[in-house]
Amino acid sequence: MSATPDLATDLAGVALPNPVLLASGTCGYGAELAPFIALEELGGIVAKSLTLEPRAGNVPPRITETPAGMLNAISLENIGVEAFIRDKLPSLPPSLAVVASVFETELDRYAEVCKRLDAVARVAALELNASCPHVKSGGIEFGQDPRVLAQLVRACRGATTKPLLVKLSPNVTSIAEMARVCEGEGADGLSLINAVQGLMVDVHRRRTALRNGLGGLSGPAILPIALRMVYQASRAVKIPICGIGGIASGEDAVAFLLCGASAVQVGTLTYTNPAAGIEVRDGIAAYCRSHGVARARDLVGALEAWPPG
Amino acid sequence: MKRAPGTVSGRVLGRVLESGPTRLVLEVPGWPGHRPGQFAMLGLTPELVHRDPLLPRPMAVYRGNASALEFRFKVVGRGTRIMAELAPGAVVSVLGPLGNGFAPPDGPATLVGGGSGIASLYELAEARSPGLRVLLGGRSRADILGLEDFEKLGVDLRLATDDGSLGERGFVTDLLAPRAGETVYACGPLGMMQRAHALAGEAGARCVVSLENNMACGFGVCLGCVVKTPAGFRYVCTHGPVFESGTLGWGAAT
């Protein structure tokens, strides 16, 4: 058995040196992490969601800690797609796979952002944020209604020839149905899950902890929910899946691969440690070595059935 | 790679040398130095698989050198309670130094510290710049963090407590009489800093304040620590924590 496991993989046609990307909204535009880590050691990054125009976020408080997790309502504050292309992309290491995340409030605007990014060679793939759980107009509606989700994927599919991932909301009854809708409309892959809708209360002040009220729950607290949804979605579709949700270690990432994910995204843990993604990559390699796995991609969907009881 | 003092170094694992209800001293190998008023993110559960509490805590460096960092704090919740109870030898992750920190005074200056905000000001006081005044306040004597250290400096030190248990009875800002052209450095409750800002303005003095806020990351990616200013949102972690007081809006969301 090789001492150095092969971590290379392919996500919806994008070749990656390893299966660990950083999740949108947790790694800025990449440059914010450059003082701490060598970005090119990652499988890739999914940059912060972009809208047509710059967008300011919610009035604070925007975040609060929860058991083994956190709740946020940032509301997709971003610099806008043109500033990203002009100011942020050129500084990133050439070998780093950059996925652009797209968010908007109307179908035609979603498609317009996709069109702008489609023209940029440096962008490896697009990820539609159909699932942000705390924006009043947009986000949740797109990802929660299968007919609206189908319209969204169709509109964006028509606007780009780049690999198109759809990031799914967990706040739905049937994740398998949503996965099939995306596959049916020509999505090249799925990313799941986005944050789980939640609420925290400051009982002393008798107020919601966040000014926005509702927020998105992330971190290790949501890992079992995410594994369940990746497991179900991977059995419903043939397109590849990028698993997301509370990944804090190589073993967490391997659990997603076994459930059918081709790659993973590390999100909230980057807040606690800018090198979390690289440590997860090293943890996958360590798992492969100790279990005699030559290629990490051999773990994808390799969950074994229990023998009959 | 050797970096200039005050630049970001990255995250290392530190070991607890001493801890207590208001004090944490960490051995931090390779700490690159810092400016007064910079902070670190302290991860209290780096060895726990399920990471609860999950988020590191932003803490002003009280004082430090190449091998040991001291933090002063008050127990206000779960994270600070864990900090107070860490056993010597326990592992804490340290990311920093972070934030802009204070520019040292180039003339007369007054430091105004309230409660746990005092921790940000000690190293400025330690420099004993000419014409320095130090005003510290809190609810009672026990809230004046590092009192014994400030007293040892031999600086012009005046104290106030709400209950009169130390120094004057009243607010620390009751002691503040800014001199025209000086710089007032304020760190403490928002109301205290707003009062320092107003008094400095009336006296023709400059005022800089160091804000604190909940943060998930400390380096500009979570966007959780914003303050609302007339010029839009600013991030306490990367635009601050030190701000010219006149750039803040001093409204409810500051």
pLDDT in tens, A218-258: 999 999 999 999 999 999 999 999 999 999 999 999 999 99
3-state DSSP assignment of residue A77 = coil
**Residue A40 pLDDT grade (very low, low, confident, very high; cuts 50, 70, 90):** very high
- Average pLDDT on A266-272 reads 96
Task: Give the least confident one: A265-269, A290-294, B16-20.
Answer: B16-20
Confidence check: pLDDT of B202 > 60: yes
- Residue from A46, A71, A272 to probe the interface with B (highest B Cβ count within 10 Å): A272
Confidence check: pLDDT of A46 > 70: yes
Q: From 3.40.366.10, 3.20.20.70, 3.40.50.1370, 3.40.50.720, which CATH number describes the A9-299 domain?
A: 3.20.20.70
Cis check: omega of the bond before B97, within 30 degrees of 0: yes
- Residue from A58, A65, A211 to probe the interface with B (highest B Cβ count within 10 Å): A65
Number of other CB atoms surrounding residue B237 within 10 Å: 27
Confidence check: pLDDT of B43 > 60: yes
Q: What is the DSSP letter of A78?
A: B
pTM: 0.94
- Average pLDDT on A51-65 reads 95
**Residue A60 pLDDT grade (very low, low, confident, very high; cuts 50, 70, 90):** very high
Cis check: omega of the bond before A61, within 30 degrees of 0: yes
In this complex, do B224 and A59 lie within 8 Å of one another by their Cβ atoms?
no
- Distance, CA of A126 to CA of A162 (rounded, Å): 7
Sheet architecture: strand order including B156-161: B168-169, B156-161, B132-138, B109-114, B183-187, B206-210, B242-244
Is residue A143 within 8 Å of A168, Cβ to Cβ?
A: yes
In this complex, do A248 and B51 lie within 8 Å of one another by their Cβ atoms?
yes
pLDDT at A134: 46
Range from A31-40, A139-148, B7-16 that averages highest in pLDDT: A31-40
- Residue from B217, B227, B236 to probe the interface with A (highest A Cβ count within 10 Å): B217
A206 Cβ contact partners less than 8 Å away, ≥ 6 residues apart: none
Any CB–CB contact under 8 A between A17 and chain B? no
Any CB–CB contact under 8 A between A272 and chain B? yes
pLDDT at B48: 61
B85 Cβ contact partners less than 8 Å away, ≥ 6 residues apart: B19
Which of chain A's residues have a Cβ under 8 Å away from the Cβ of B93? 272-273
Cis check: omega of the bond before A170, within 30 degrees of 0: no
Confidence check: pLDDT of B27 > 80: yes
pLDDT at B30: 85
Q: How many interchain CB pairs under 8 A, A with B? A: 105
Q: Which two tokens stand for residue A173?
A: 């009854």
Is residue B26 within 8 Å of B17, Cβ to Cβ?
A: yes
**Residue A181 pLDDT grade (very low, low, confident, very high; cuts 50, 70, 90):** very high
pLDDT at B252: 59
What pairing do the DSSP bridges indicate for beta strands A63-66 and B91-98? Answer: unpaired
pLDDT at B56: 94
Is residue A163 within 8 Å of A12, Cβ to Cβ?
A: yes
In this complex, do A26 and B222 lie within 8 Å of one another by their Cβ atoms?
yes
Domain coordinates of chain B in residue numbers?
A: 11-98, 109-247
- Distance, CA of A25 to CA of B126 (rounded, Å): 40
Which of chain B's residues have a Cβ under 8 Å away from the Cβ of A60? 213, 224-228, 253
Which of chain A's residues have a Cβ under 8 Å away from the Cβ of B253? 59-60
Q: Is the dihedral of CA A33, A37, A38, A40 positive or negative?
A: negative
Q: Which two tokens stand for residue B74?
A: 């008050």
In this complex, do A26 and B228 lie within 8 Å of one another by their Cβ atoms?
no
Report the gap between the CA of B228 and the closest CA in chain A (Å): 7
Nearest to A65 among B55, B226, B253 (CB): B55
The mean pLDDT of chain B is: 92
Report the gap between the CA of B223 and the closest CA in chain A (Å): 7
H or E segment at B123?
A: helix B122-126
Nearest to B54 among A27, A33, A68 (CB): A68
What does residue A195 show for φ and ψ, rounded to 5 degrees?
-65, 150
Report the gap between the CA of A150 and the closest CA in chain B (Å): 30
* Site of tokens 């902890």: A209
Chain B interface, Cβ < 8 Å to A = 7-8, 10-11, 43, 46, 49-56, 93, 95, 213-217, 219-228, 232-233, 253
Nearest to A271 among B46, B50, B216 (CB): B216
CA angle A275, B35, B33 (to 5 degrees): 55
pLDDT at B199: 98
B/e letters for B111-141, b = 16+ CB within 10 Å, e = fewer, are bbbbbbbbbbbbbbbeeebeebbbbbbbeee
- Tens of pLDDT, residues B109-140: 999 999 999 999 999 999 999 999 999 999 99
Q: From 3.40.50.300, 2.60.40.1760, 2.40.30.10, 1.10.287.3510, which CATH number describes the B11-98 domain?
A: 2.40.30.10
Domain coordinates of chain A in residue numbers?
A: 9-299
Cα B191 to Cα B13, B186, B211, B248: the distances in Å are 36, 11, 12, 13
3-state DSSP assignment of residue A221 = helix
Report the gap between the CA of B165 and the closest CA in chain A (Å): 28
H or E segment at B40?
A: strand B39-43
A78 Cβ contact partners less than 8 Å away, ≥ 6 residues apart: A48, A49, A50, A51, A54, A55, A84, A103
Confidence check: pLDDT of A142 > 90: no
Q: Which two tokens stand for residue B169?
A: 């009875």
- Residue from A205, A271, A278 to probe the interface with B (highest B Cβ count within 10 Å): A271
Nearest to B224 among A35, A62, A275 (CB): A62
- Average pLDDT on B214-218 reads 95
Nearest to A212 by CA among A307, A71, A110: A71
**Residue B4 pLDDT grade (very low, low, confident, very high; cuts 50, 70, 90):** very low
- Average pLDDT on A208-222 reads 96
Chain A residue with CA closest to B235: the answer is A60
- Distance, CA of A218 to CA of A145 (rounded, Å): 22
Task: Give the least confident one: B11-20, B145-154, B236-245.
Answer: B11-20
Nearest to A196 by CA among A268, A103, A277: A268
Report the gap between the CA of A184 and the closest CA in chain B (Å): 34
Which of chain A's residues have a Cβ under 8 Å away from the Cβ of B214? 61, 63-65
Q: Is the dihedral of CA A280, A251, A170, A17 positive or negative?
A: positive
The proportion of chain A whose per-residue pLDDT surpasses 90, expressed as a percent, equals 92
H or E segment at B149?
A: helix B147-153
Nearest to A128 by CA among A65, A192, A180: A192
- Average pLDDT on B63-71 reads 91
Catalytic residue among A27, A132, A182, A259: A132
Confidence check: pLDDT of A211 > 60: yes
Q: From 3.40.50.2000, 3.40.50.150, 3.40.50.80, 3.40.190.10, which CATH number describes the B109-247 domain?
A: 3.40.50.80
The answer to whether ipTM exceeds 0.90 is yes
Confidence check: pLDDT of B105 > 60: yes
B/e letters for B52-67, b = 16+ CB within 10 Å, e = fewer, are bbbbbbbbbbbbbeee
Nearest to B86 by CA among B43, B131, B147, B148: B43
Q: Which two tokens stand for residue A95?
A: 């070998």
- Tens of pLDDT, residues A146-160: 999 999 999 999 999
Report the gap between the CA of B221 and the closest CA in chain A (Å): 5
Is A27 annotated as catalytic? no
pLDDT at A136: 47
Rg (alpha carbons) of chain B, rounded to whole number: 18
In this complex, do B221 and A32 lie within 8 Å of one another by their Cβ atoms?
yes
**Residue A189 pLDDT grade (very low, low, confident, very high; cuts 50, 70, 90):** very high
pLDDT at B11: 80
In this complex, do B223 and A74 lie within 8 Å of one another by their Cβ atoms?
yes
pLDDT at B124: 98
**Residue A132 pLDDT grade (very low, low, confident, very high; cuts 50, 70, 90):** low
Q: Which two tokens stand for residue A167?
A: 């990031």
In this complex, do B213 and A60 lie within 8 Å of one another by their Cβ atoms?
yes
- Distance, CA of B14 to CA of B26 (rounded, Å): 6
- Distance, CA of A80 to CA of A90 (rounded, Å): 16
pLDDT at B13: 85
Is residue A218 within 8 Å of A242, Cβ to Cβ?
A: no
Q: Which two tokens stand for residue B48?
A: 């726990």
Cα B91 to Cα A25, B61, B72, B76, B86: the distances in Å are 29, 18, 18, 21, 9
- Average pLDDT on A27-40 reads 95
Confidence check: pLDDT of A180 > 50: yes
Confidence check: pLDDT of B1 > 70: no
The mean pLDDT of chain A is: 95
Task: Give the least confident one: A11-15, B86-90, B250-254.
Answer: B250-254
pLDDT at B50: 59
